Amino acid sequence: MFFKGIAKYGVHRILLKQPKGGKSHKEAGGEFLQLTLNTEEAEMASFFEMLRKRWDQELFVCVGLDSDIAEIPECVSGDSAKKRIVSFNRDIIASTADKACAYKPNFSFYEALGADGMDALYETIEAVRILAPGVPVILDAKRADIGNTNKPSATFAFDLLGADAITVHPYLGAEAMSPFLGREDNGTIVLCRTSNMGGGEFQDRLVYVEWNELGDLVSEDISTLAKVCG
Protein backbone atom coordinates (compact mmCIF):
# COMPACT_ATOMS: atom_id res chain seq x y z
CA MET A 1 0.00 0.00 0.00
CA PHE A 2 2.99 2.31 0.52
CA PHE A 3 3.78 2.44 -3.19
CA LYS A 4 0.22 3.50 -4.02
CA GLY A 5 0.95 6.91 -2.57
CA ILE A 6 4.12 7.13 -4.62
CA ALA A 7 2.29 6.34 -7.84
CA LYS A 8 -0.48 8.81 -7.10
CA TYR A 9 1.42 11.72 -5.61
CA GLY A 10 4.80 11.42 -7.32
CA VAL A 11 7.13 11.14 -4.32
CA HIS A 12 10.61 12.10 -5.51
CA ARG A 13 12.65 9.52 -3.62
CA ILE A 14 12.27 6.15 -1.97
CA LEU A 15 14.73 5.11 0.72
CA LEU A 16 16.05 1.68 -0.19
CA LYS A 17 18.41 1.05 2.73
CA GLN A 18 17.80 2.08 6.32
CA PRO A 19 20.89 3.78 7.86
CA LYS A 20 22.64 1.76 10.55
CA GLY A 21 23.84 2.81 13.98
CA GLY A 22 21.22 5.48 14.50
CA LYS A 23 22.75 7.75 11.88
CA SER A 24 20.66 10.16 9.89
CA HIS A 25 20.02 9.46 6.23
CA LYS A 26 22.36 12.29 5.28
CA GLU A 27 25.18 11.08 7.56
CA ALA A 28 24.86 7.50 6.37
CA GLY A 29 24.60 8.44 2.71
CA GLY A 30 21.39 6.44 2.36
CA GLU A 31 20.74 4.96 -1.04
CA PHE A 32 17.78 6.35 -2.94
CA LEU A 33 15.99 5.36 -6.07
CA GLN A 34 15.37 8.48 -8.13
CA LEU A 35 12.06 8.77 -9.97
CA THR A 36 11.97 10.80 -13.16
CA LEU A 37 8.46 12.12 -12.56
CA ASN A 38 8.20 15.03 -10.17
CA THR A 39 5.12 15.71 -8.06
CA GLU A 40 3.47 18.06 -10.52
CA GLU A 41 4.08 15.78 -13.49
CA ALA A 42 2.76 12.71 -11.68
CA GLU A 43 -0.43 14.45 -10.62
CA MET A 44 -1.13 15.91 -14.07
CA ALA A 45 0.13 13.25 -16.50
CA SER A 46 -2.74 11.54 -18.27
CA PHE A 47 -2.57 8.21 -20.07
CA PHE A 48 -2.37 10.02 -23.38
CA GLU A 49 0.41 12.35 -22.23
CA MET A 50 2.48 9.45 -20.93
CA LEU A 51 1.94 7.46 -24.11
CA ARG A 52 2.79 10.41 -26.33
CA LYS A 53 6.06 10.97 -24.46
CA ARG A 54 7.05 7.36 -25.09
CA TRP A 55 6.07 7.59 -28.76
CA ASP A 56 8.09 10.78 -29.10
CA GLN A 57 11.09 8.68 -28.05
CA GLU A 58 10.19 6.18 -30.80
CA LEU A 59 9.15 3.59 -28.23
CA PHE A 60 6.19 1.62 -29.56
CA VAL A 61 6.34 -1.78 -27.82
CA CYS A 62 3.50 -2.68 -25.46
CA VAL A 63 4.86 -5.31 -23.06
CA GLY A 64 2.36 -7.95 -21.96
CA LEU A 65 2.44 -9.08 -18.34
CA ASP A 66 0.26 -12.14 -18.84
CA SER A 67 1.99 -14.12 -16.14
CA ASP A 68 0.66 -17.67 -16.05
CA ILE A 69 1.96 -19.22 -12.83
CA ALA A 70 2.17 -22.62 -14.55
CA GLU A 71 4.61 -21.21 -17.12
CA ILE A 72 6.91 -19.23 -14.85
CA PRO A 73 10.40 -20.80 -14.79
CA GLU A 74 11.37 -22.73 -11.68
CA CYS A 75 14.38 -20.50 -11.17
CA VAL A 76 12.11 -17.58 -10.22
CA SER A 77 12.20 -17.35 -6.43
CA GLY A 78 9.29 -16.99 -4.02
CA ASP A 79 7.47 -19.15 -1.49
CA SER A 80 4.01 -18.43 -2.95
CA ALA A 81 2.39 -17.99 -6.34
CA LYS A 82 1.91 -14.30 -5.64
CA LYS A 83 5.58 -13.69 -4.81
CA ARG A 84 6.78 -15.64 -7.83
CA ILE A 85 4.50 -13.72 -10.20
CA VAL A 86 5.56 -10.36 -8.79
CA SER A 87 9.24 -11.33 -8.92
CA PHE A 88 8.88 -12.53 -12.51
CA ASN A 89 7.04 -9.36 -13.53
CA ARG A 90 9.57 -7.09 -11.85
CA ASP A 91 12.38 -8.72 -13.79
CA ILE A 92 10.49 -8.16 -17.05
CA ILE A 93 9.71 -4.54 -16.18
CA ALA A 94 13.29 -3.79 -15.16
CA SER A 95 14.60 -5.33 -18.38
CA THR A 96 12.21 -3.44 -20.67
CA ALA A 97 11.76 -0.07 -18.92
CA ASP A 98 13.83 1.73 -21.56
CA LYS A 99 12.04 0.03 -24.45
CA ALA A 100 8.33 -0.10 -23.55
CA CYS A 101 5.66 2.43 -24.45
CA ALA A 102 3.20 0.67 -22.10
CA TYR A 103 2.69 -2.40 -19.92
CA LYS A 104 -0.42 -4.55 -20.27
CA PRO A 105 -1.27 -7.07 -17.53
CA ASN A 106 -4.09 -9.43 -18.49
CA PHE A 107 -6.63 -9.49 -15.67
CA SER A 108 -7.60 -13.16 -16.06
CA PHE A 109 -4.22 -14.56 -15.04
CA TYR A 110 -4.40 -12.67 -11.75
CA GLU A 111 -8.11 -13.20 -11.17
CA ALA A 112 -7.59 -16.97 -11.31
CA LEU A 113 -5.50 -16.81 -8.12
CA GLY A 114 -8.15 -15.03 -6.06
CA ALA A 115 -7.03 -12.55 -3.42
CA ASP A 116 -3.36 -13.43 -3.92
CA GLY A 117 -3.74 -12.72 -7.62
CA MET A 118 -5.27 -9.32 -6.96
CA ASP A 119 -2.37 -8.51 -4.64
CA ALA A 120 0.05 -9.64 -7.34
CA LEU A 121 -1.65 -7.41 -9.91
CA TYR A 122 -1.60 -4.44 -7.54
CA GLU A 123 2.08 -4.95 -6.76
CA THR A 124 2.87 -5.39 -10.45
CA ILE A 125 1.35 -1.99 -11.24
CA GLU A 126 3.29 -0.51 -8.32
CA ALA A 127 6.46 -2.04 -9.77
CA VAL A 128 5.87 -0.24 -13.06
CA ARG A 129 5.63 3.08 -11.19
CA ILE A 130 8.95 2.42 -9.48
CA LEU A 131 10.98 0.64 -12.14
CA ALA A 132 9.52 2.31 -15.24
CA PRO A 133 8.22 5.72 -14.12
CA GLY A 134 6.26 7.53 -16.79
CA VAL A 135 5.26 4.34 -18.61
CA PRO A 136 1.46 3.82 -18.59
CA VAL A 137 -0.30 0.64 -17.50
CA ILE A 138 -3.15 -0.78 -19.59
CA LEU A 139 -5.39 -3.21 -17.70
CA ASP A 140 -6.39 -5.84 -20.25
CA ALA A 141 -9.77 -6.75 -18.78
CA LYS A 142 -12.05 -6.50 -21.85
CA ARG A 143 -14.95 -5.23 -19.77
CA ALA A 144 -18.43 -5.25 -21.31
CA ASP A 145 -21.66 -4.54 -19.46
CA ILE A 146 -24.33 -1.89 -19.03
CA GLY A 147 -23.28 1.53 -17.80
CA ASN A 148 -24.35 1.11 -14.18
CA THR A 149 -22.33 -2.09 -13.90
CA ASN A 150 -19.33 -0.55 -15.60
CA LYS A 151 -19.10 2.19 -12.96
CA PRO A 152 -17.58 -0.08 -10.29
CA SER A 153 -15.37 -1.64 -12.96
CA ALA A 154 -13.94 1.79 -13.74
CA THR A 155 -13.51 2.52 -10.04
CA PHE A 156 -11.67 -0.76 -9.52
CA ALA A 157 -9.38 -0.36 -12.51
CA PHE A 158 -8.49 3.30 -12.17
CA ASP A 159 -8.96 4.22 -8.50
CA LEU A 160 -8.09 1.00 -6.66
CA LEU A 161 -5.56 -0.69 -8.94
CA GLY A 162 -4.20 2.56 -10.34
CA ALA A 163 -4.23 1.51 -14.01
CA ASP A 164 -3.97 4.26 -16.61
CA ALA A 165 -6.16 2.60 -19.25
CA ILE A 166 -8.45 -0.38 -19.73
CA THR A 167 -9.61 -2.54 -22.63
CA VAL A 168 -13.37 -2.82 -23.22
CA HIS A 169 -15.89 -4.47 -25.55
CA PRO A 170 -17.96 -1.97 -27.58
CA TYR A 171 -20.94 -4.29 -28.13
CA LEU A 172 -23.23 -2.49 -25.68
CA GLY A 173 -22.58 0.93 -27.20
CA ALA A 174 -21.08 4.26 -26.18
CA GLU A 175 -23.61 4.90 -23.41
CA ALA A 176 -22.60 1.70 -21.66
CA MET A 177 -18.92 2.61 -22.01
CA SER A 178 -19.45 6.12 -20.60
CA PRO A 179 -18.08 5.27 -17.10
CA PHE A 180 -14.75 4.57 -18.82
CA LEU A 181 -14.96 7.22 -21.53
CA GLY A 182 -15.81 9.87 -18.94
CA ARG A 183 -12.42 9.47 -17.28
CA GLU A 184 -10.55 12.12 -19.24
CA ASP A 185 -7.15 11.27 -17.75
CA ASN A 186 -7.56 7.56 -18.39
CA GLY A 187 -7.60 5.63 -21.64
CA THR A 188 -10.38 3.40 -22.96
CA ILE A 189 -9.08 0.97 -25.56
CA VAL A 190 -11.95 -0.52 -27.55
CA LEU A 191 -11.70 -4.09 -28.81
CA CYS A 192 -12.24 -4.04 -32.59
CA ARG A 193 -10.77 -7.20 -34.10
CA THR A 194 -9.08 -10.06 -32.27
CA SER A 195 -6.26 -12.21 -33.62
CA ASN A 196 -7.36 -15.54 -32.17
CA MET A 197 -7.92 -18.41 -34.60
CA GLY A 198 -11.72 -18.41 -34.31
CA GLY A 199 -12.15 -14.65 -34.17
CA GLY A 200 -13.50 -14.37 -37.69
CA GLU A 201 -16.52 -16.57 -36.93
CA PHE A 202 -18.49 -13.49 -35.87
CA GLN A 203 -16.09 -10.60 -36.40
CA ASP A 204 -15.74 -11.01 -40.16
CA ARG A 205 -19.49 -10.72 -40.69
CA LEU A 206 -21.23 -7.51 -41.70
CA VAL A 207 -23.72 -7.15 -38.86
CA TYR A 208 -26.05 -4.75 -40.63
CA VAL A 209 -26.45 -7.27 -43.49
CA GLU A 210 -26.39 -10.51 -41.53
CA TRP A 211 -27.96 -9.62 -38.18
CA ASN A 212 -30.51 -12.44 -38.34
CA GLU A 213 -27.87 -14.88 -39.47
CA LEU A 214 -25.72 -13.90 -36.49
CA GLY A 215 -28.61 -14.75 -34.19
CA ASP A 216 -29.17 -18.05 -35.97
CA LEU A 217 -25.52 -18.96 -35.54
CA VAL A 218 -25.71 -18.38 -31.82
CA SER A 219 -28.82 -20.56 -31.64
CA GLU A 220 -27.19 -23.49 -33.41
CA ASP A 221 -25.38 -24.63 -30.29
CA ILE A 222 -27.53 -23.58 -27.36
CA SER A 223 -25.57 -25.87 -25.04
CA THR A 224 -22.52 -23.62 -25.17
CA LEU A 225 -23.88 -20.24 -26.33
CA ALA A 226 -26.82 -18.13 -25.27
CA LYS A 227 -28.42 -15.01 -26.67
CA VAL A 228 -28.94 -12.19 -24.19
CA CYS A 229 -31.60 -9.56 -24.83
CA GLY A 230 -31.87 -6.73 -22.31
- Please indicate, yes or no, whether residues 72 and 124 belong to a single structural domain of this protein: yes
Range of the domain at 208: 201-230
142: annotated active-site residue: yes
Query: Which pTM was predicted?
Result: 0.72
Q: Can you tell me the distance from the alpha carbon of 199 to that of 222, in angstroms, rounded to the nearest whole number?
A: 19
pLDDT of residue 192: 86
pLDDT of residue 18: 40
- Please indicate, yes or no, whether residues 110 and 178 belong to a single structural domain of this protein: yes
**Between 93 and 30, residue with greater pLDDT:** 93
**Between 205 and 164, residue with greater pLDDT:** 164
- Please indicate, yes or no, whether residues 183 and 216 belong to a single structural domain of this protein: no
* Per-residue pLDDT band at 44 (split at 50, 70, 90): low
The mean pLDDT of the chain is 79
Contact 38, 10 (CB under 8 A): yes
Task: Say what percent of the chain tops pLDDT 90.
Answer: 55
Tell me: pLDDT of 83 over 80. yes
How does 46-69 read in b/e, with b if 16+ C-beta sit within 10 Å?
Answer: bbeebbebbeeeebeebbebebeb
Q: 25 in a domain, yes or no? A: no
Q: How does pLDDT run across 144-201, given as a tens digit for each residue?
A: 888 889 999 999 999 999 999 999 988 888 899 999 999 999 999 998 888 889 988 8
Query: In whole angstroms, how far apart are CA 210 and each of 158, 174, 217?
Result: 37, 22, 10
Tell me: pLDDT of 214 over 80. no
Query: In whole angstroms, how far apart are CA 16 and each of 29, 93, 95?
Result: 11, 18, 20
- Of 26, 142, 151, 227, the catalytic one is 142
- Please indicate, yes or no, whether residues 59 and 161 belong to a single structural domain of this protein: yes
Across the range 57-76, mean pLDDT stands at 94
Q: 218 in a domain, yes or no? A: yes
- Please indicate, yes or no, whether residues 220 and 134 belong to a single structural domain of this protein: no
- Please indicate, yes or no, whether residues 104 and 162 belong to a single structural domain of this protein: yes
- Please indicate, yes or no, whether residues 188 and 216 belong to a single structural domain of this protein: no
pLDDT of residue 144: 87
Q: 178 in a domain, yes or no? A: yes
Contact 37, 134 (CB under 8 A): yes
Contact 30, 17 (CB under 8 A): yes
Q: 9 in a domain, yes or no? A: no
**Between 16 and 218, residue with greater pLDDT:** 218
Across the range 81-96, mean pLDDT stands at 96
